[in-house]
Structure 1
Amino acid sequence: MINQTTNVALCFHCGEPNPSGSAFSVNIKGENQQMCCPGCEAVAQTIVDSGLTSYYDHRSENAEKGNTLVPEQLSQLLHYDIEQIQEEFIKQDADLSEITLTVEGITCAACAWLIEKQLRQLPGLHFINVNTTLHRVVIRWYKDKLKLSEILTDIQKVGYKAYPFQINQQEALYTRQAKSYLRRLGLAGIATMQVMMFAIALYSDLFSGMEEEFIHYFRWVSFLLATPVLLYSAQPFYVNAWRNIRNRTLGMDIPVSIALLGAYIASAYATIMDTGEVYFEAISMFTFLLLLGRLLELRARRKASETSSNLLRLLPSMATLIEKNTESLIPAKTLSIGQIILVKAGETIPIDGIILTGISNIEESMLTGEHLPVHKGENSPVFAGTVNITSPLTIQVEKLAKDSLIADIIHLQDTAQQNKPHIEVVADLVSRYFVGALLIVALCTYIGWSLIDPAQAFWITLSVLVATCPCALSLATPTALTCATANLNKQGILIKQHHVLETLNKINHMVFDKTGTLTHGDFVLLNSTVYGDYSKQQCIDLASQLEKVSEHPISLAFNKQQKSSVILSDVINLPGKGLQASYQGKALKLGHAQFCNIDKPLDSKELVIYLTLANALIASFELGDTMRKSAEKISQYCQDNHIQTTLLTGDISAKSEEVGQLLKLGNVVKGVTPEGKLTHLQILQETQQVLMVGDGINDAPVLAGAHVSVALASGTDVAKNSADVILLGEDLNKIAVLRKTAQKTTHIIKENLGWAIGYNLIIVPLAVTGHVPPYIAVLGMSFSSLIVVSNSLRLLK
């Protein structure tokens, strides 16, 4: 490869000049290609040995200069295999590990292709996705077959540097993007003001009495002012257009780039040859308004991630560790499970944990959106980022930073935005077809006007390209969805699946679990009756020991009453039925009457569970629970909006009917197993659109199977993993807020699409017939995009 200007040999890999006497080369497709250094030689040889030489055919830019991994760098990569280091940035799911990497040096789609092809050869790799826009790579692998250091080393072998993605780097990237747009916008704005002064004077014919050379002089000044706008400010449009062309797709920046370059070349020709009209003011104004729209779009798209970053900023960097009755300040991220910390009044809690001593009010609005402090005492859970208001607390660490509620929230937000909802996919597809149709219309316009009036053909075609607005079509849906998601996050409503806002508009039936959903799930042991030789306390101890393996709220009622441990074996939890184990060689059961084979259940409005040993009844327990204050509100909302309701619960007691009557629910189905709940839901969904609300392990199948499902943050991990939406806090009325926001989002998307389509249907015929001059076309196209983005930003209120 030779530089045609200087006649100097260039490195085939990175494009830098080869030093004189350089002997580095690699045989690529039968030809010896010269390299500038051993680093580039090593990277190129790796690409050839891996069978990836097609990279050099498809790349649009030279690669980054190769750097050979030296022993010191290799040892640094090996550090990433240390478990304590991995805890901060790796998500574990059974035997799969997941990490998001930031990769330096990605310039085009060929880079993404090369990285993916290289890593897919590694044994143990499960999934890889390279995002060329964000320069990030998501990787999942089997930890027993592959090491993280091997992944990082393989990426480095093909010429790229990768390291674990951190949220502060995301913020830094956003800051760089925003600053870049502001610099380009500032230059375009200054140039536009200057050029417009000359243009207005020329259009007003104020220079009619001035000599021709002065008019020509002002055209040259406009030419010089518009040139940096075209070359620098408008650069993002050319890059995107070239990327679209290279990947054989049609994007909105293709007609934009054609219009900008066409107007500039024609105006430059008119200035140099001193003939025809110039439109430098249209070029500058068009670029300025487009950049303004892109900047607003960037801000709207980043709102959700900004919310995540703001959550992380609330976490304190230091924590007060208590060890051997001494206090010491240590970095909060180094805390491990089981350690004890002191949080004074007014301080922010640095981790998720359990209160050991102290009683205080906790401000949890940053998580739940509810501003009233929550009163908490011993054994109450607390979460990182919440504020201790009134009294000092000693807290035991229950979760590491990467597993905290805040970390889960951020992970859910990222997951929700990985896929596009159907309406956005359709809008993107329509916008691509629209671009294709626009280019055809522009070509036909040019041919037609060349026959009618050749002098006007170019400028009318330019107006057609500029006036039409595929940008508004592409922005209509994503900006609205992003703003709606960000607003819901602030109110403690986390959307996990991309289809939720779209599907919620069709919901006409809500199904509720009872225990822990419509009721608090804070069970209290009201009455205990014994029937055999065991004492009341012995029966409570047996029941408490059984409940230790259960996440059901009932377990808390027994745990508070237990006084001595009991040795059990073969403990089994059967969700929706009860628990069973072996005690002194006999079968021990705790659960509903049917599960325990009780012929004559107690007649009680409260929940009754039974304890049997070797099929003989030895105790019964009555448990009380209280209704959530918000249950009545959500029930009333359903009635007001003609939404059918069903109570679907595994509880067989009369309490189910009492709750159903009190809340005026349309149907009560009680005493059903998890499989029975799913069967009932599937029958409903044959004719209706159903939203399911639950919180327990026995709700997981129906939450996964419903059209839309909602789980409470206080529920089990299984329920939250199965649900589409998670509600932070205890306010069920947030479901009404969620549905109202979904309806408003759909309404705004329809407004955006209606405006974008209506504007184009009106402006295209006017532009084709020559009734829209280029400077009016610039204003119309730019304001069309701004109207769509501004309309979407209403969802942030």
Structure 2
Amino acid sequence: MACFHCGLPNPSTLGPYRAVILGETRDFCCPGCVAVAETIEASGLSDYYLNRDSEPQQRYAAAPAELLARFDHPAVQREFVSHAGDTSIAELSIENLSCAACAWLIERRLQQTVGVLEATVNYSTHRLRLRWQDEHITLSTVLTDLDRIGYTLRPFQQDSHASALKQQARTQLLRVALAGLGTMQAMMLGVGLYLGAFQGIDTEYRDYMRWISALITLPVFAWAGWPFYRAAWQALRARHLTMDVPVSIALWGAFWASVYATLIGQGETYFDSVCMFIFFLQSSRFIELKARQRAAERAADLLTINPRLIKYWRNNQWQDMPSDELVSGERILIAAGDSVPVDAELAQDSGYVSEAMLTGEPAALRKRRGDMLLAGSVVGDSALEAIVVRSGNDTLLATLHQLMSRALSEKPALAQRADSLAHWFVARVLVLAVCVYIGWQFVDPSQAFWATLAVLVATCPCALSLATPTALTLATERLAAMGFLLTRGHVLSTLPEATHIVFDKTGTLTVGALQISECHVVSPTDSRESLLALVLAMETGASHPIARALCDYIQSQGVAPAVISATVTAHPGQGLALAEDHGLYRLGHAAFALGAHTQADSEQVVWLSRDHVPLLRLCFSDQLRPEAHALIAGCHARGLTTVLLSGDASAQPQRIAETLGIQQVYSQQSPAQKQALIAQWQAQGAIVVMVGDGINDAASLAQAHCGVAMASGTDWAQTSADAVLLGDRLSALLPAFALAEHTARNVRQNMRWAVTYNLGILPPAALGFIAPWAAALGMSLSSLVVVFNARRLRHIRLSE
């Protein structure tokens, strides 16, 4: 018996030392291991034994039911489960996921489970996005159900998940090495047997070489081929067909037929073909595995490993606290060079941080008191004091990661069609194999088995299943590196079909750094300070660029916010309202603040009114983003119709449209009107892409076929959108369109190749012209062609 903690043999004379870990009594080799294990258990860190990279020799086969039941506890779920109404959402790591068909099997299994609303597997990162209703099913029930069919799920943790993937790659490489060594040895003996068949060989030498070949092939067949048999058995238990089913039938048939021929001393043996088949299959899967892991690295980079301990101010001194326990309002100290663990406001005069993780720009940015420090930013040369605003899953970094994970897990229609075609193909291949076997019984019974084997091997739809997800994953990775973060899976298939691109104005085409150019008091009875104090009180907490400009300007004047007793009501696209004892105050554009029949201002203006009587007039100035001209010109070059939709009632939208050359302009549009216009164009057959940033754009972003939100925009806009522009880089839009077109073309090429190969190889394999080893080589090369063709997306030149 091995020690549960370190894996070394337990002494026979001393002990045994025992302790209850993970709900079971475990044996240990010494008191030291017992003490360490009990400390880990007492600290609530016993999941270490589930996620450690190097495990002891003895491992329990399945997770105990009582252990899985712990994942239903609210305190445990707080770390990895988010809630939306009566539904729960979790991201889980999957072990033993060997191919795209396994991902399809897990999805189908869960989608048939009562209470599971959504189950999408990202084969590239071996992660499952699960959405379920707690009142109908528990998380432990889902974990137990998948554990029974051979798939172990654990809450996603970046460090342990990366270790698991590395361990899988190492194991896969060992399987390739064993299969390669076995293939070389079996081929040397096979050459002697082939030559002996033509030139003559004594029976005892022939049988000796066959037995040696069988012994060499046995570990290759049993261990290197084990993932195929396990996956096939899991699929059959779930009453589904995957590509591992024909592969396993072919391997078992070839191996045991060869063993039978060796035992009776008659017939042909194909031990070398078995070794070669496994070697080619495992080699192609290893190359594919490494490609998928590299493609997923960008998504993983969004989760900076934040400091586990952070200093916070308590009892007039700095104390250490785990970063995941920080709450809003805590005063924290972030050391130089550390990443910011939460979204926080700077509490000192100035400081420098790098937001390269979010924007891709490594240059240090100067932050002033009150500016937001985003989670994932890296502090410069000196420590910074800050006040926590958002922590945990509420930070911008966590939100972006969740959105990208959702995009990677979702399957566009093209991928779903490819999966359906692959599984349809497997069923037909099995039927065809039976027909080939029966047909050869009438022609030459001695060739029936080997022709059938060649058909099963040659037509395995591995390339068909890899054709779409490999290209989509690599394209998603490259787009994220450019600053175009996908949050929905359909974007890459939607962008090439777009006909219209619609822009918001403030914060999208313009920088959004508005400045007050004029402040004019209209009321003869109210002071300038009192009116500004009221404006500041109404706008405090708002995130729109106009609100930020107002707050910055008023605070720079040394004015404190007024004390208000009523709640401020937001009217998206119009302004704010406050009902006080003195009357109804309105802050917004002229039509909202002064009355429906008021003429629009000729410039961007905000009015403060009381019962529609003007009190204060504030004029703004803004500037266009430097890349806006090139972007609009590039959209026209692609044949897109450009539209400017703005809630601004002034003449500014028209001036901006004329400056940039935008074809259609709609100003003074409410959120409902914006949404209605997009719906109208869609009804006429247009494919609409919408780019915006504010709450007033959320409905339009959701209505459009593809909504693109600015990273500096509101959370509402980002969650309504299908993609996010990191660093507000409009320049990433045109390369995104170009890469989407290249990706669609690449997928079509892969699909054509996969279908052509499978249909082309079928007749000669069925007619007996292709040996099983040649069929294995062709099938593996076909899969590699698809993977390497998709990898070209990493290096395609894109013009901005």
**TM class by smaller structure:** 0.7 to 0.9
Secondary structure of the structure 2 residue equivalent to 1:357? coil
1:672 alignment partner, one of 669, 672, 678: 669
448-457 vs 735-744, which moves further: 448-457
| Contact kept in structure 1, 2:601 and 2:649, CA below 8 Å | no
Structure 1 distance, partners of 2:95, 2:455, is 40
2:423 alignment partner, one of 424, 428, 432: 432
In the alignment, which residue of structure 1 is the partner of 2:437?
A: 446
In the alignment, which residue of structure 2 is the partner of 1:792?
A: 790
- Structure 1 residues 584-623: aligned runs within 5 Å: 584-597=581-594, 601=599, 604=602, 606-623=603-620
In the alignment, which residue of structure 1 is the partner of 2:542?
A: 550
CA gap 1:555/1:95 in 2 versus in 1, 3 angstroms: farther
In the alignment, which residue of structure 1 is the partner of 2:477?
A: 486
Unpaired runs of 5+ in structure 2? 1-59, 796-800
Structure 1 distance, partners of 2:775, 2:112, is 47
The CA deviation string for residues 26-77 of structure 1, in whole angstroms up to 9 with x for no partner, is xxxxxxxxxxxxxxxxxxxxxxxxxxxxxxxxxxxx99697779xxx99x88
CA gap 1:646/1:183 in 2 versus in 1, 3 angstroms: same
In the alignment, which residue of structure 2 is the partner of 1:44?
A: none
Secondary structure of the structure 2 residue equivalent to 1:347? coil
2:569 alignment partner, one of 567, 572, 578: 572
CA gap 1:462/1:191 in 2 versus in 1, 3 angstroms: same
Shift of 1:328: 4.1
| Contact kept in structure 1, 2:466 and 2:783, CA below 8 Å | yes
2:680 alignment partner, one of 678, 683, 686: 683
Secondary structure of the structure 1 residue equivalent to 2:502? strand
| Contact kept in structure 2, 1:67 and 1:159, CA below 8 Å | no
1:696 alignment partner, one of 687, 694, 697: 694
333-342 vs 96-105, which moves further: 96-105
Secondary structure of the structure 2 residue equivalent to 1:511? strand
207-216 vs 365-374, which moves further: 207-216
In the alignment, which residue of structure 1 is the partner of 2:401?
A: 410
202-211 vs 224-233, which moves further: 202-211
| Contact kept in structure 2, 1:748 and 1:792, CA below 8 Å | yes
In the alignment, which residue of structure 1 is the partner of 2:41?
A: none
Shift of 1:99: 4.2
Secondary structure of the structure 2 residue equivalent to 1:688? coil
1:381 alignment partner, one of 360, 364, 372: 372
1:583 equivalent in alignment to 2:580: yes
| Contact kept in structure 2, 1:342 and 1:392, CA below 8 Å | yes
Structure 2 distance, partners of 1:162, 1:274, is 47
Shift of 1:624: 1.1
In the alignment, which residue of structure 2 is the partner of 1:7?
A: none
- Structure 1 residues 323-334: aligned runs within 5 Å: 323=314, 326-334=317-325
| Contact kept in structure 1, 2:147 and 2:153, CA below 8 Å | no
Shift of 1:481: 1.3
Shift of 1:413: 2.6
The CA deviation string for residues 494-513 of structure 1, in whole angstroms up to 9 with x for no partner, is 22222111111101210000
Please tell me the root mean square deviation across aligned C-alpha atoms, in Å.
3.6
Shift of 1:734: 1.3
In the alignment, which residue of structure 2 is the partner of 1:718?
A: 716
In the alignment, which residue of structure 2 is the partner of 1:249?
A: 240
CA gap 1:198/1:129 in 2 versus in 1, 3 angstroms: same
Secondary structure of the structure 2 residue equivalent to 1:312? coil
Structure 1 distance, partners of 2:505, 2:421, is 45
Aligned residues: 718
Shift of 1:556: 1.3
Shift of 1:313: 4.7
CA gap 1:554/1:757 in 2 versus in 1, 3 angstroms: same
In the alignment, which residue of structure 2 is the partner of 1:708?
A: 706
In the alignment, which residue of structure 2 is the partner of 1:54?
A: none
Structure 2 distance, partners of 1:708, 1:102, is 29
| Contact kept in structure 1, 2:335 and 2:379, CA below 8 Å | yes
In the alignment, which residue of structure 1 is the partner of 2:526?
A: 534
Shift of 1:126: 8.1
- Structure 1 residues 275-286: aligned runs within 5 Å: 275-286=266-277
Structure 2 distance, partners of 1:262, 1:197, is 22
377-386 vs 690-699, which moves further: 377-386
- Structure 1 residues 126-145: aligned runs within 5 Å: 138=130, 140=132
Structure 2 distance, partners of 1:757, 1:661, is 50
CA gap 1:471/1:269 in 2 versus in 1, 3 angstroms: same
The CA deviation string for residues 596-633 of structure 1, in whole angstroms up to 9 with x for no partner, is 235665754x3112111122112211011121122223
Structure 1 distance, partners of 2:496, 2:741, is 6
1:630 equivalent in alignment to 2:632: no
CA gap 1:94/1:308 in 2 versus in 1, 3 angstroms: same
In the alignment, which residue of structure 2 is the partner of 1:53?
A: none
Task: Return the TM-score normalized by structure 2.
Answer: 0.82
CA gap 1:152/1:281 in 2 versus in 1, 3 angstroms: closer
In the alignment, which residue of structure 2 is the partner of 1:337?
A: 328
The CA deviation string for residues 63-92 of structure 1, in whole angstroms up to 9 with x for no partner, is 9697779xxx99x889x445xx66433324
Task: Return the TM-score normalized by structure 1.
Answer: 0.82
In the alignment, which residue of structure 2 is the partner of 1:660?
A: 657
Shift of 1:153: 10
Shift of 1:130: 10
| Contact kept in structure 2, 1:103 and 1:137, CA below 8 Å | no
Q: What residue identity is the alignment partner of 2:678?
A: L
Shift of 1:350: 2.6
Identical-residue share of aligned pairs (%) = 37
Structure 2 distance, partners of 1:390, 1:726, is 30
In the alignment, which residue of structure 1 is the partner of 2:279?
A: 288
| Contact kept in structure 1, 2:128 and 2:409, CA below 8 Å | no
Structure 2 distance, partners of 1:717, 1:470, is 42
Structure 2 distance, partners of 1:265, 1:410, is 49
| Contact kept in structure 2, 1:100 and 1:139, CA below 8 Å | no
CA gap 1:594/1:564 in 2 versus in 1, 3 angstroms: same
224-233 vs 93-102, which moves further: 93-102
CA gap 1:206/1:247 in 2 versus in 1, 3 angstroms: closer
Shift of 1:297: 3.1
Shift of 1:103: 9.9
Q: What residue identity is the alignment partner of 2:667?
A: K
The CA deviation string for residues 257-314 of structure 1, in whole angstroms up to 9 with x for no partner, is 1211121122222222233332211111111111122223334444565444444354
1:263 equivalent in alignment to 2:254: yes
The CA deviation string for residues 211-246 of structure 1, in whole angstroms up to 9 with x for no partner, is 442233222211111122122211221222223333
The CA deviation string for residues 660-680 of structure 1, in whole angstroms up to 9 with x for no partner, is 112111111100111110111
Structure 1 distance, partners of 2:450, 2:113, is 50
Secondary structure of the structure 2 residue equivalent to 1:251? coil
In the alignment, which residue of structure 1 is the partner of 2:770?
A: 772
| Contact kept in structure 2, 1:550 and 1:573, CA below 8 Å | no
Unpaired runs of 5+ in structure 1? 1-61
Structure 1 distance, partners of 2:475, 2:120, is 27
Shift of 1:155: 8.2
The CA deviation string for residues 323-368 of structure 1, in whole angstroms up to 9 with x for no partner, is 4664444432233222222334433323221112143443222222
| Contact kept in structure 2, 1:106 and 1:112, CA below 8 Å | no
In the alignment, which residue of structure 2 is the partner of 1:368?
A: 359
| Contact kept in structure 1, 2:334 and 2:384, CA below 8 Å | yes
Structure 2 distance, partners of 1:774, 1:368, is 52
1:474 equivalent in alignment to 2:470: no
- Structure 1 residues 158-173: aligned runs within 5 Å: 164-173=155-164
The CA deviation string for residues 554-608 of structure 1, in whole angstroms up to 9 with x for no partner, is 111221214133233242110111111123331111111111235665754x311
| Contact kept in structure 2, 1:303 and 1:482, CA below 8 Å | no
